[in-house]
Structure formats: C-alpha cells, structure tokens
Structure 1
Amino acid sequence: MAIKLFLRSKVGETSSIYFRYIKGRDFKLILKTPYSINPTHWDEEKESYKANLTKRNPKTVLEKNFNSQIAVLNNNLAILKSELSVFFANNHDATADEIKDFYNKKYFPEKEKPKTTKTAIPSDLVNFIDYYIKDKSKRIEGKQDPITEATRKKLITIKNRIILFDKNILLKSVNDDFRDDLTEWMQTEKYSSSTIIKDLKYIKTVCSFASKKKIDVNTEVLHWEFMRVKQNYTPPILSFEELEQIKNTICPHEYLENAKDWIIIGFYTGARVSDLLNFDAKNIINTNILKFKQKKIENQTHDAEEFIYLHSEVLKVLEKRNGQFPRKISDQRLNDYIKEVCKLAGLTQKMIGGVKDKEQGGRGKKIVKEFEKWKLITTHIFRRSFVTNFIEILGKENIKTQTGHKTDDMVNLYNKTEKIDKAMRIAEKMENHLKIV
C-alpha cells in the first residue's frame, strides 16, 4: 500500500494537490485534495511546502502570516495522509467507489449535499397563477420589469374566484367550454361584464405564459378574442361652471372643506388619486412645478418620476393652507366626502350613470339608471375632467405630460367631450380663422 501526494500541473500561480493510492499491481486511485499551492513552493520529495522558505525570526506581519500559511498547509497534508492510512489499514478490501464515498464525505462534504431541484411548474390553473405572480414579480434587466402591485392583487382576486368556481381545473382544461361556464357562473354571481372580460383576459395571459413554459395548455385559450363592453352612458365630468359652484360652497365641516380643496387640485392637475394624495409641498420647484413619483408604476420602472404644472388655482389652495397640500385621507374616504361636497354644491341634475349595487357587497353588477349627478361622482372624475376641459387648449402631447398617460388612445378614453360640443368648438375655430383671413 502506498499513498503519495503530488502536483499534476507545475505551471501557473496555484496548482491543486492530488493524492495517489496504489494497492498491488492492479489497483491505482488518484483523487484531488482540498488543498493547493504555488508549484514553485512544492517539495516533491517531502510532499509538502518547502521548509527552507520559512522565514527565520519573522519581523513583519507579512512574514509571520507566510510562516503560518506554510505550517497550516503542511499540518493539513500530514493529517490527510494519516487519516487515509488509517482508513486503508482498516478497509484493506475497500473498492474504488467505497474509497471515493469516504473521501468525499470527509474532505468534500458539499458534494454530498442534495442538489436543489427546480420546483416543478404547476399544471393546474390555481397554483400556476401563484407561479406566474412569483415569476413576474422579479426584475430581470433587459428582459422584464416586475408587475405592479395592482396587477398582483388583481391576479390574486382572480385566483380566489377560480377556487370558488373550480379549484382543481387543469391548464389543459381551460378551453372555450371553460370560458362559457365561467362566464355563466360570474353572471349568476352578479359580476359586471367588464369584470368578466378582464378576468378572462388575465386567464388568457397566464395560459399563454404557461404555453411558453412548455406546459400542456389547450390551444383554444390562446385564440380567445374579446368584444369591447358597450357603455350606454357617458361617465360624468365637472365643468368649469360646476367647479365654481363647488369653490363657492360653504362646507359645514372641516373634513368636507379638506375634500373640496382636493377636488380643486385634482381638477387642475389631472393626477391619479394614488398620486394626488401623496403630493408633498417640499417637492415644489420654481413655485409652480411639482415633482412626484407615479405610485402605480414606481416598482415597475426607473422612469416613474414626473413633473407637473400647478395652476394658480392650486397655488391659492396651498396659500390658504400655509403652503401645504390638504390633509391626506384614504381613497375611499375621499370618494365618500366629494359626493357630499358635490351634493352641497347643488350638483343634483339627473343623468344616466352606473352605481354598484351595495347589496352585492360593493362588488356586484353596476345598476345603470338615472341618478342625481353627485351620486355618480368618484375621484376618477378629476382625470376625466382635466382631459375633457383642457385638451383643446393643451393638445394631446401636453395632456400626456400632465396626466402621465403614455398613449393617445388612453387620452381619448378620458376625453368625454360631447359630440355637439366638439362640433361647436370646430365651428368657433373656423369662424375665428375666417375673420383673420
């Protein structure tokens, strides 16, 4: 039996140290040790660090560390040879595999750790939605930005609905029949047409992603098409005249005065309510420019920072409040309070609109009928009113700068100018042009 330590390579700054075990003529095993050394420092005869490299009477920290390095390596190699010798003496008939097993457990325990296997991708819709959320919540530079918090919440809501409908549905069973059955169930549960279509669009997106992951899906889902839900009424906006009514309204409570001031600011900025309620006077630049981050996309892009113009009417509100924006409240409270303010302001004219049936827990199908206008007011009226009232003055590009919309189509969606008003504006512009000519 012979054990020898040696270097296989003598070039480069470091070289791994190997040991060779020979038993008789027919058994030879070579394995790498956990140690390495500069080949020029290796003593082939003594199978160790060259002893003559040790610094005598070391004075500097560097010399002391070098001596320690030599001693530690030589000691480790001596222990290794000793432990191997004991093993071979006690296991004279050990096979190569048995020797490797002992050796790896002793000197390379990380090799014995079970390899982490990738979690199997779920094949059912409910669990795959969780997988989709986890995958899409990661930022991968050059490939994808994470989904927004709103999207994550929407997907969780859809998942919970599917659990109620059929928690065991497989991805490959999501087909046209599934679509019809889910639609019928959601209609029975009083979900609105827009909610049903949004859910189906998300389900199609999730299934398309599953297909890319080589999961078995039914190809029918990949060809789903959707009709735009026809809205038989125009969502309300605030006109300049109505805003004046609101401004001149005396509010009996401070919370309503606070809400009234938010209406004025929202009307002249067109900001999303999630951004509006986070406006901070500390971020005002050059007296009338406000810097803020769009909350909706802050976790999705590096380009969430925006700058918007503060109209003089907005600055009047801030001046009244010692340079500060109104007190921040929740979206829901603001929704409730601005209804009260608009009722006090006399916005009681009748108009067709949609209000969710509260008997359905606030999630049910909208009841579309004639209501007094104040009942139809929500915080989303700020953006619609801004786009509708200022689009002719600012044009689409400037509107997008102020509202943060990315496309003309989105601006068009928010523009609720009546057709007759559009025609009247064209007439006014043409008459003015003809007068100049």
Structure 2
Amino acid sequence: MNIKRNIIFSLESRKKNGVPIVENVPIRMRVIFASQRIEFTTGYRIDAAKWDADKQRVKPGCTNKLKQSASEINTDLLRYYTEIQNIFKEFEVQGTMPTTAQVKEAFNNLHSEKREEEQRKPLTFAPMEVFREFIRECGTQNGWSDATYEKFAAVKKHLEKFDKELTFEALDEPKLTSYVNFLKDVEGLRNTSTMKQIAYLKWFLRWCTKKGYCMNNAYESFNPKLKSVQKKVIFLTWEELNKLKDYKIPPTKQYLERVRDVFLFCCFSGLRYSDVYNLKRSDIRDGYIEITTVKTADRLVIELNNHSRAILDKYKDVEFEGHKALPVISNQKMNNYLKELGELAEISEPVSETYYKGSERIDTITPKYALLGTHAGRRTFICNALALGIPAQVVMKWTGHSDYKAMKPYIDIADDVKANAMSKFNQL
C-alpha cells in the first residue's frame, strides 16, 4: 500500500492590527494526506526575512531571538520530516490508512518517549536543554522583549564558555566564586555587569528549583561583595541639544539627517527607541501621541511640543513600511551613527567615569559623543524637563516611571543644573 502525503514546513500567517507579523514567527509543519490536513508546531520561531520559503528551511547563517542557529533548527526540521515519513511507512507495511488522530498520536508518543529519556539523563547546562525550556516558558509567560531574550542569551553563552560540563550539583559557593572571577578576568566584565549576570543566573536557578531540576540551593546565600559606583547618566544639555539640532550635515553624509531627526524626537518626547521604532501614524492624535510601551506595556499619552510636532510633520507624507511614523533604523546602526553625528557636531565635552573590575578601580575620560546612544534621547528629555522646572510627577506621566527611585538620578542632575544656573548671577 502506498500512502500519498505531502509534508510542508512554513511560517504561520499572523496579523496584528491588520498588518502581517514578520518578526519571530512560529514555524509549523503541515502534513497533508488522503484529503486531510494536520498542523504541528515545531517549537521554533524565525523572522520572515530569514526563512527560505522555497527550501522550507532557515537561511544559512541566520539565528532567531533565542540565538538558535539555522543549522540547529534545520536539523530538527529534517528530523521531524523523517519521523513523519517513518510513521506513514509503518502504516503502509500494515496496509492501513491512518486517521489524523492516529498520526498525531504516533508523533506525540514518539516525542513523549524522547522527553522521558532526556529526563532520565543527568541534567547539565550542556547542551542547555533546561535553559532553553526556561527561556521558552518565562519568555512567553512574562512577555519578554527582544532585549530580555538577548540578555539571557548572553547568560547562556557565558555559562557554556565557563564550563560546558557544568551541573546543578557543582554550583556550590567555590564554583560560583570561580564564575565571578571568570566573568571579571576572562570576559572582562565590570562589577556592575557581573552582578547583573549573577542576578540573571539566580533567576534561572530559582526557576529550576521550583521545577524540581535543581536540588542545590547554595546560590541563595551567595552574595559577592563587589565595589560599584552609580553609572553616569549621559544626556545632552539644552545648549548641546540646540548645537546638534542646528548642525549643518555635510552633503556626503545625508544619511545622518534621518538619524538626527529620530534622536531629536526621542529628546523632545521621552520615548524609548523601541517605542519610536513601533510608533505608527495611527498613534498620532490631534496634539498628542497615544501608545502602549513595548518594555512595560504601559499606556501613555504624551502631548506634542513644537519640536516633536515639527519632526512628525516633516515625514507625514513619506510612506514607511508597516505604517510607521518615522524612519527608524536598527538600534545598533543608529547608535553607531549617533556617535559619528555627535563627533561632527562637536559634542565633545570630556566625561569622567569610574568603574571597578574586582577590586581594581578604573578611571576614564571619554568625549561625550563616544558615549551617545539611542537611550540618551530619553535621558535628555527627562533631565531637561526637570531642569525647566516641570514637576517630577508630570514627567513621570510622560515617561511611564512608576516610582521616584528610578527618577532620583535625574532629579539630582536637575538640581545640579539649577545650582550652576544660579551661580551665573555671580558673574554680573
């Protein structure tokens, strides 16, 4: 008996507000036989631009949000294909036409057996099966942003580099101390970054303890004392902001004009890069914008001022993909271009910073343009708004900050600006 069948891998067709979703799209496996169709989820996602529809595979060299490689994903897709083929061959040998329920059951049973086999193996961080489960579950439950996925991808990378054979049982206090030294000496992390890595690791281990994977709770009492100083807030003063705004961009560098416009919009609205990137024309009302933030899902109403309105008006007749309001490029490219723009506009005030690696104190002096990034726009908005005398509780309504703790560094800066402004009277 020969059962004709067709096994197809494709991306799910999903839309949001009528617009097709093209990022982080689930890969499905469709099995068609005897005029019937079964849909299987593969457990993988990929951006549409990284998917080869003709070959039904992820394009070589690409990775998804979980940093899973094309070779890893494609290997599993081939395995699923082979498993389905083998299931049909068994029915062909038996001389029976299976129902969709029988095919599903055979496939699911096969994977249940594999899960049970994996659970009987000693759980280790290599090849990080447990970590992948943690990322999938917590990422879905908590609605992680791309940035959070990237943070935990970095945690996974550090752990694998530290010890590919690392087990839960080995994570006692001496091993955790060795990991801290590894982050400092091998990975070159500052103390503040090391403490973040330890906090992320503890998050993961608490989840593992809750799931019954980890019986070693040494991490709970592990609190290394690492010196740190509060990170300096990089922002543009009102004078620097006008200097950047009025700078005449050379004809050979016109690509910087749109970068400047988007950055200035952040400076005059307080929006994060992720929210400017997602800003749609439909979010713009008469005199204000209304958005739901990507990072915190807060609903914000932000009034427009002359500066932010002028930037929106400049692009109101220009069509951008996905009905976006502004020409926003990738965060990485924009950060690079902002440093170039800042250097050209001579935003070069020396900024002194102090940080620690272990017990070593390191002092640096860097021109401000080399420290510019997209988030400096939001910081610029907050610092200048407070310095202008706008009450903190009003600024918090615009930015979505929920408590004064997060605002305190900005309030301190505003107080310094006011004190320096008052000293100018002494020069009269």
Q: Provide, for residues 98-147 of structure 1, a one-character-per-residue CA deviation record: whole Å limited to 9, x for no partner.
A: xxxxxxxxxxx99x9869577539732443222212322343xxxxx344
Structure-2 residue corresponding to 1:306: 300
Note the C-alpha offset of 1:224.
2.6
Distance 2:354 2:273 in 1: 20
Determine which of 194, 217, 220 is the counterpart of 1:219: 217
User: What TM-score results when the alignment is normalised by the length of structure 2?
Assistant: 0.61
| Pair 1:172 & 2:169 matched | yes
Distance 1:390 1:244 in 2: 15
Note the C-alpha offset of 1:351.
2.3
Note the C-alpha offset of 1:368.
4.9
Aligned AA for 1:137?
A: G
Q: Is the 8 A contact 2:276 2:326 kept in 1?
A: no
Q: CA RMSD in A?
A: 3.5
Structure-1 residue corresponding to 2:404: 408
| Pair 1:158 & 2:192 matched | no
Unaligned runs of at least 5 residues, structure 2: 1-101, 319-324
Three-state SS of the structure 1 residue aligned to 2:212 is coil
Q: Is the 8 A contact 2:292 2:299 kept in 1?
A: yes
Structure-2 residue corresponding to 1:127: 129
Structure-2 residue corresponding to 1:332: 332
Structure-1 residue corresponding to 2:261: 261
Q: Is the 8 A contact 1:391 1:399 kept in 2?
A: yes
Structure-2 residue corresponding to 1:341: 341
- Counterparts of 1:247-396 in structure 2, within 5 Å, are 247-252=245-250, 253-286=253-286, 288-297=287-296, 303-322=297-316, 325-353=325-353, 368-391=363-386, 393-396=389-392
Distance 1:231 1:422 in 2: 24
Note the C-alpha offset of 1:225.
2.8
Structure-2 residue corresponding to 1:237: 235
Determine which of 192, 197, 205 is the counterpart of 2:195: 197
* Residues 320 and 213 of structure 1, relative CA distance in 2, 3 Å threshold: closer
Three-state SS of the structure 2 residue aligned to 1:405 is coil
Distance 1:338 1:227 in 2: 36
* Residues 148 and 250 of structure 1, relative CA distance in 2, 3 Å threshold: closer
Note the C-alpha offset of 1:193.
2.0
Distance 1:265 1:367 in 2: 35
Q: Is the 8 A contact 2:270 2:398 kept in 1?
A: yes
Q: Is the 8 A contact 1:384 1:415 kept in 2?
A: no
Larger Rg: 1
Aligned AA for 1:394?
A: I
* Residues 137 and 316 of structure 1, relative CA distance in 2, 3 Å threshold: closer
Note the C-alpha offset of 1:296.
2.8
User: What TM-score results when the alignment is normalised by the length of structure 1?
Assistant: 0.60
Aligned AA for 2:166?
A: I
Three-state SS of the structure 2 residue aligned to 1:394 is coil
* Residues 416 and 383 of structure 1, relative CA distance in 2, 3 Å threshold: farther
Q: Is the 8 A contact 1:263 1:382 kept in 2?
A: yes
Q: Is the 8 A contact 1:289 1:310 kept in 2?
A: yes
* Residues 338 and 137 of structure 1, relative CA distance in 2, 3 Å threshold: closer
- Counterparts of 1:2-13 in structure 2, within 5 Å, are none
- Counterparts of 1:2-81 in structure 2, within 5 Å, are none
Distance 2:420 2:369 in 1: 27
Distance 2:270 2:191 in 1: 27
Q: Provide, for residues 55-94 of structure 1, a one-character-per-residue CA deviation record: whole Å limited to 9, x for no partner.
A: xxxxxxxxxxxxxxxxxxxxxxxxxxxxxxxxxxxxxxxx
* Residues 424 and 192 of structure 1, relative CA distance in 2, 3 Å threshold: closer
* Residues 233 and 369 of structure 1, relative CA distance in 2, 3 Å threshold: farther
Q: Is the 8 A contact 2:262 2:328 kept in 1?
A: no
Structure-2 residue corresponding to 1:434: none
Note the C-alpha offset of 1:278.
2.8
Distance 1:272 1:178 in 2: 38
Distance 1:271 1:366 in 2: 34
Q: Is the 8 A contact 1:285 1:291 kept in 2?
A: yes
Distance 2:257 2:284 in 1: 23
Structure-2 residue corresponding to 1:187: 184
The alignment-based identity, stated in percent, is 20
Q: Is the 8 A contact 1:384 1:416 kept in 2?
A: no
Number of residues of Structure 1 aligned to a counterpart in Structure 2:
300
Note the C-alpha offset of 1:267.
0.7
* Residues 250 and 427 of structure 1, relative CA distance in 2, 3 Å threshold: closer
Note the C-alpha offset of 1:155.
1.8
Note the C-alpha offset of 1:182.
0.8
Q: Is the 8 A contact 1:207 1:222 kept in 2?
A: no
